[in-house]
Amino acid sequence: MSEQYEYVPHRLLRRRVRDIASGVEGVLMAVVNENVSDTGTERWMELAYIRDRSNREFTTAVANVVPAYDPPHTRDTSPSRG
């Protein structure tokens, strides 16, 4: 039997991301190619480990990970009164 997991490089590691499946945002801590099978047949899947604001980590399919952008700050464009 081969290793149960291997780390995979990803362009968003240590950056703020959003899981599109749940809508939860956090920091991408790792991407792991992991054998997720509980039977004798191997089934490999790339999982993203994301740490949310409460410091809990959860996994999602790496295809669900997108960059999280802060919403643009609204600027008051009304004329100054002075």
Pairing of strands 25-35, 16-19: antiparallel
What sign results for the dihedral spanned by CA atoms 10, 15, 20, 26? positive
The residue with tokens 């480990």 is: 49
pLDDT over 80 at 76, yes or no: no
SS3 at position 35: strand
Q: Model-level pTM?
A: 0.78
Q: Which residue has the higher pLDDT, 3 or 16?
A: 16
pLDDT over 50 at 1, yes or no: no
